[in-house]
A and B are shown apart, each in its own frame.
Chain A
C-alpha cells in the first residue's frame, strides 16, 4: 500500500523542514514507532486475515458475510419487512410522551452513527475502490444490506441483556449478552467468550477506533499545511481527547456532536451535487460497478479481488456483526428491546448503502482511476489501480471531490478531522465498557484505560498507513469472531422476541402515541 500523497505544498514544506536537525530526528522517531508497531502486530494480523488454503479469500470476510446471510434468512428478511416500522420508531411515533427526557431511538441511532460514519466512508471506500475497482462497490452495497440483519440481532440483545445500575446508569454490549444469555440457556463458556470479546474490543478501540483515525486525520492536515512529523498531530489530538474523556470537558464533545451531523449532510450534499452535475456519467458509473463486480475489469484478483475489498470495507465501515453498535444502542429507554434492533438496522443502510456508495460513485465519475483507453480495463500500479496523482486512501477521495469542487478538499479535511475525533470519542467509550467489564468499574481503572487510549492516538498519528490499517482491521474483525459465534447461539432468543412483538403489533396492542 502506498503512503498518502501530500501534494505540492507539502513537498515545499518538507524541503524546508528537511534542513533542520529537529525534523530529521522527528522523522526517525516516526520510523522507529512504525517499525516497532509493524513487528509487534504482524502475527495477529496474519492470523485474522489468513486465506482459505489454496485461495486468496480471507476466512474472516466469509465469516461476516455468512453470518449476515444467516441472520437475514433466519429472521425472514427483517431488514425489509420492518423497514418502515423502523422509520416510525425513529420519528418517535411509538414513544410514550411520559418518557420524554430519556434517550430516544433517534438519539441512540445518531450516537451509534457518529461512531461509525467517518473515515470508513471516506478513506475506506477509496481504499476499496482503489484496489478492488468500482466493482467493489456492488459487493459493499450487498454486504451493507445483509449486514442490517446482523445489526438488528446484536442491538436487540444489547438492550435486552444490559446492566442497569441503582444510580440509573446503564452498561450494555456483547460481553453482557453473551455471558447472561449463555447462562440463561444453560450453555457453558459464556464468561470466557465475554472476556475474549472484551480483550478484542479494547484492541479494536485502540486500532480502528483510534490509531486509524489519528493516522488519517494527520494525513489530511499534512496534505493541506505541508508535511510535518505525525507525532505533532498525535500530541495535539491526544491532548484534546484527554480534555474530553479525562477532563470531562463536555463543551468540546458537544460541539463535535453538533458539527459532525452537519458535516455528514454537507458531505452527502456535495456528493449529490457532483453526481447531478455529472448526471450523464451516472449510468456509465453504475455500468462500471456492475461490470467490475463480476469481471473485476482488470483489477488484481479479478472478481474475487473486488468482492474481498467490498466486503472488507463494508464491514469495517458499518461494523455490522462486530458488536460495537450493541454497546452504543444499549442506552435507549424502551420497554421493548427489539425496537432498538429495528432502529439499528437503519445504520448499515445510511452508512454503507447511502454514504459509501456516494463516495464510490464520485471517485468513479471523477476519472481519478486510470483506464487503458484501448482495452477499457484499469491500469495497475502494483496491486492497486493507478490514479492520476498516485493518491490512495483519503487523498484519493479528496482529489475526486476536488476535481469537481475546487475548494472541497479543505471542507473534507475539516470533516475528516471531526469525523476522526467523534469516532475516537465513541470508541473510547466502547473500549472503556470492555475495560470495566474486565477490571471492574472504578475511577482509577477507568483513568488507566483513558491514559493508554491517549498514548495510542500519538502512536497512530506517527505510524504509516499500512501497518495501522492492517492492525485496525484485524482488531475490529477479531471482535466479530467472538460476537458472531455468540449470536448464533442467542439468535433464537431474538426470534422469540420478534414473534411476540409482531403478534402484538398486528393485534393493535402496540400502538402509536402520535397519529
Chain B
C-alpha cells in the first residue's frame, strides 16, 4: 500500500524546506505518494460587491491557474524529476481546515508544512495557519522550522 503525505505550501521560500523534508521522508518510506497542496485563503462568508460576484468564477479560475503555474507545478516537477511520486492540488478555503479535510479525504498519514516567518498583527490576534493546523488537525503534523 502506498503511504500518502500531504505537503502544504504557501508560496514562500520556507515551503522549500517543507518539500525537502517531505522528499527525505518519502525516500525512507519507499512506496509513497506526495500530495503538494496550495490553499488560497478564501471565506464563503466574506462580503463582495455585485461586480466582484459577477466576475468571481473567472477570478477563481485565474487564481487556480496562477497558483498551479507558480507554486504547485514547479514543486511537483522537482519531486518527479528526483524520481518521487507526486501530484499537485489547489483549493480555496481556510488553510488549516482545507489541509485537514484533504488529508482525511485522501487518507494521508501526515501533513508537512513549514513554519512561516510572518510576524503581522493579524497573526498575533488570529494565530497563524500553521498554529491552527497543529491545533485542529486529525492526522499528525510536522512543522519544519
The answer to whether B50 touches A169, judged by C-beta atoms less than 8 angstroms apart, is no
Tell me the smallest distance from the CB of A171 to a CB of chain B, in Å: 7
Instruction: Give the chain A neighbours of B40 by CB distance below 8 A.
Output: 101
The answer to whether B53 touches A101, judged by C-beta atoms less than 8 angstroms apart, is no
The answer to whether A111 touches B47, judged by C-beta atoms less than 8 angstroms apart, is yes
- Within A138-175, the residues touching B (CB, 8 Å) are 167-171
Instruction: Give the chain B neighbours of A169 by CB distance below 8 A.
Output: 54-55, 57-58
The answer to whether A111 touches B91, judged by C-beta atoms less than 8 angstroms apart, is no
Cα–Cα distance between A328 and B46 once the two chains are bound (Å): 16
Q: What 15 additional pairs, Cβ within 8 angstroms, besides A103-B56, A111-B53, A425-B50? A: A101-B63, A101-B93, A104-B45, A106-B44, A106-B45, A107-B44, A110-B47, A111-B47, A111-B50, A168-B55, A169-B57, A258-B47, A327-B50, A328-B53, A429-B54
Q: Who on chain A is nearest to B63 by CB?
A: A101
Residue in B50, B61, B63, B92 whose beta carbon sits within 8 Å of that of A426 in the complex: B50
Cα–Cα distance between A180 and B87 once the two chains are bound (Å): 44
Q: Who on chain B is nearest to A107 by CB?
A: B48
A115, CB-defined interface residue at 8 Å: yes
Residue in B56, B63, B93 whose beta carbon sits within 8 Å of that of A331 in the complex: B56
A301, CB-defined interface residue at 8 Å: no
Residue in B50, B60, B63, B92 whose beta carbon sits within 8 Å of that of A430 in the complex: B50
The answer to whether A101 touches B42, judged by C-beta atoms less than 8 angstroms apart, is yes
A307, CB-defined interface residue at 8 Å: no
The answer to whether A100 touches B48, judged by C-beta atoms less than 8 angstroms apart, is no
Kindly name the residue among B42, B48, B49, B57 whose own CB sees the greatest number of chain A CB atoms within 10 A. B49
6 A-B interface contacts by CB (under 8 A): A95-B44, A101-B60, A101-B64, A114-B47, A328-B50, A331-B53
What are the interface flags for A102-122 relative to B under an 8 Å C-beta threshold, 1 for contact and 0 otherwise? 111011101100110000000
Instruction: Give the chain B neighbours of A331 by CB distance below 8 A.
Output: 50, 53-54, 56
Instruction: Give the chain A neighbours of B63 by CB distance below 8 A.
Output: 101
A45, CB-defined interface residue at 8 Å: no
Instruction: Give the chain B neighbours of A110 by CB distance below 8 A.
Output: 47-48
Instruction: Give the chain A neighbours of B64 by CB distance below 8 A.
Output: 101
Instruction: Give the chain A neighbours of B49 by CB distance below 8 A.
Output: 111, 253, 257, 425-426, 429
Interface size on B, residues (CB 8 A): 26
Cα–Cα distance between A425 and B40 once the two chains are bound (Å): 27
Instruction: Give the chain A neighbours of B61 by CB distance below 8 A.
Output: 168
What are the interface flags for B66-108 relative to A under an 8 Å C-beta threshold, 1 for contact and 0 otherwise? 0000000000000000000000000111000010010000000
B51, CB-defined interface residue at 8 Å: yes
The answer to whether B54 touches A100, judged by C-beta atoms less than 8 angstroms apart, is no
Tell me the smallest distance from the CB of B94 to a CB of chain A, in Å: 9
- How would you classify the secondary structure of chain A's contact residues: helix, strand, loop or mixed? helix
Interface size on A, residues (CB 8 A): 35
Q: Who on chain A is nearest to B53 by CB?
A: A331
Q: Who on chain B is nearest to A328 by CB?
A: B50
A7, CB-defined interface residue at 8 Å: no
A104-B45, A111-B47 known; A333 vs B57 contact (CB < 8 Å): yes
A167-B58, A168-B57 known; A97 vs B101 contact (CB < 8 Å): yes
- Within A81-107, the residues touching B (CB, 8 Å) are 92, 95, 97, 100-104, 106-107
Instruction: Give the chain A neighbours of B51 by CB distance below 8 A.
Output: 429
Instruction: Give the chain A neighbours of B44 by CB distance below 8 A.
Output: 92, 95, 100, 104, 106-107
Q: Who on chain B is nearest to A170 by CB?
A: B54
Tell me the smallest distance from the CB of B143 to a CB of chain A, in Å: 24
Tell me the smallest distance from the CB of B83 to a CB of chain A, in Å: 31
Q: Who on chain A is nearest to B39 by CB?
A: A100
Cα–Cα distance between A331 and B49 once the two chains are bound (Å): 11
Cα–Cα distance between A67 and B18 once the two chains are bound (Å): 61
The answer to whether B54 touches A102, judged by C-beta atoms less than 8 angstroms apart, is no
Instruction: Give the chain B neighbours of A260 by CB distance below 8 A.
Output: 47
Tell me the smallest distance from the CB of B46 to a CB of chain A, in Å: 7
A261, CB-defined interface residue at 8 Å: yes
What are the interface flags for A245-257 relative to B under an 8 Å C-beta threshold, 1 for contact and 0 otherwise? 0000010010001
Cα–Cα distance between A117 and B60 once the two chains are bound (Å): 28
What are the interface flags for A316-338 relative to B under an 8 Å C-beta threshold, 1 for contact and 0 otherwise? 00000000000110011100000
The answer to whether B45 touches A168, judged by C-beta atoms less than 8 angstroms apart, is no
Cα–Cα distance between A338 and B57 once the two chains are bound (Å): 19
Instruction: Give the chain B neighbours of A97 by CB distance below 8 A.
Output: 93, 101
The answer to whether A102 touches B60, judged by C-beta atoms less than 8 angstroms apart, is yes
The answer to whether A100 touches B47, judged by C-beta atoms less than 8 angstroms apart, is no
Q: Who on chain B is nearest to A244 by CB?
A: B49
Residue in B55, B58, B92 whose beta carbon sits within 8 Å of that of A100 in the complex: B92
Cα–Cα distance between A114 and B50 once the two chains are bound (Å): 10
Tell me the smallest distance from the CB of B44 to a CB of chain A, in Å: 4
